[in-house]
Amino acid sequence: MSTGRLTIDLDAVVANWRALDGMTNCKTAAVVKANGYGLGAVNVAKALFKAGVRQFFVAVAEEAVAIRNELGEKPDISVFSGHMKGDTDLIRELRLTPMLNSVDQLTMHFETLPGHPFGIQLDTGMNRLGMEMQEWAAVAELALAQRPTVVMSHLACADEPDHPMNPHQLDNFKKMTDGIGAPRSLAATGGILLGPDYHFDLTRPGIGLYGGLPFEQAQATVELDLPVIQVRDLAEGEVVGYGNTWQAERPTKIATVSGGYADGLFRILSDKATLYHGDIPCKLVGRVSMDLLTIDVTDLPEVPTKLSLIGPKQSVDDLASQAKTIGYEVLTQLGARYNRKTFGK
């Protein structure tokens, strides 16, 4: 096999959902946008549906097509981007629930799909999506009379429990929604971990399902092994890779493995990343190229056939830290060329 093997554990995804659900006394949905955070939205949704999930969130309407085709009519599929121009037919045909983000979206939805389910998204301080306080005040009576499935907002700093933005947004959300009859939702993964004050009627975990921070107790859901294509011996003073950025300071054994920035392995990892042969760390030397990495395997007791980039010795967030990014980005950039092995539910 000349491509990397990406192993996806759906049992771990389900276990993480159950753990997060067990922290609340309300309903728990699941966010499966961005192709299930890179793990495969259809397989993830199918496993979670079997576990009891009945509401899924996607970013845009097009992401719902494969999920609806696989799961049929039973689950509710909600769309964070709301009712965009050109989405009307898809929303109707797939029975999607758009989260209406503006007065314009609300007006278009009521005019084009009267009586069709919808939710409302409010902006409580993140300034990204949703109606601000004055906008909501102007249309709240009209919108609530049409019985939205949920009124929601999104926390900007939930991964920092002590950040003052969290209580600020909570206070704004209460000001905008206290006393309404519709179900309310504020918490994604980080919000669940902030405690019951943030849970309301529905939570929407995302990254926590897939093994990422801030859910530190999450089970790992992916492993990534990269096959060794060639091993060569270098003399002291020889160089490796584009730009001659790494030079051997001793006789060195270099393994060239299949994987590169075309597979979601960031160039910033050049001369920084660590791969593993069992428990033994092996440094990436030279630049990350489009399809290949070069790894110093001099100190291994045997010539490896593969090296592990994500696994028991290095989590998604460990790798993200080396790349100066977050686990979300590592997961969602997992390349299409990998040989994917999915097991579990």
Structural domains of the chain ordered from first start: 10-210 (3.20.20.10), 222-343 (2.40.37.10)
State residue 344's pLDDT score.
83
Told to judge if 210 belongs to the known catalytic residues of this protein, a careful annotator would answer no
Q: Verify whether residue 313 is a known catalytic residue.
A: no
- Helix or strand or coil: residue 341? strand
Contacts of 294 (CB under 8 A, 6+ apart): 240, 241, 246, 254, 255, 256, 257, 284, 285, 286
CB-count exposure of residue 242 (10 Å: 0-12, 13-18, 19+): exposed
Note the pLDDT of residue 2: 81
For 319, residues 6+ apart whose C-beta sits below 8 A from its C-beta are: 269, 273, 309, 310, 330
**pLDDT in the model for residue 1:** 55
172: enclosing H helix or E strand: helix 165-177
Q: Are 204 and 58 in contact (CB under 8 A)?
A: no
Q: Which two tokens stand for residue 229?
A: 């294509």
CB 189 within 8 A of CB 178: no
Catalytic residue among 50, 175, 242, 324: 242
How far is residue 154 CA from its own chain's centroid?
A: 15
Cα 54 off chain centre by:
19
pLDDT value of position 208: 98
Among positive and negative, which fits the CA dihedral 234, 289, 337, 316? Answer: positive
Residue 77 CB coordination number (10 Å): 22
pLDDT one-digit tens code per residue, 87-99: 999 999 999 999 9
Report the 10 Å Cβ neighbour count for 209.
Answer: 29
Q: Which residues of the chain have pLDDT under 70?
A: 1, 345
Cβ neighbors of 146 (< 8 A, separation 6 or more) are: 110, 118
Query: Residue 154 — φ and ψ, nearest 5°?
Result: -135, 135
Contact 132, 102 (CB under 8 A): no
Q: Are 328 and 207 in contact (CB under 8 A)?
A: yes
Q: What is the pLDDT of residue 345?
A: 64
Q: For the whole model, what pTM was predicted?
A: 0.95
- At residue 230, the 3 state secondary structure works out as strand
Evaluate whether 79 touches 90 at the Cβ level (below 8 Å): no
Residue of 27, 33, 210, 328 marked catalytic: 33
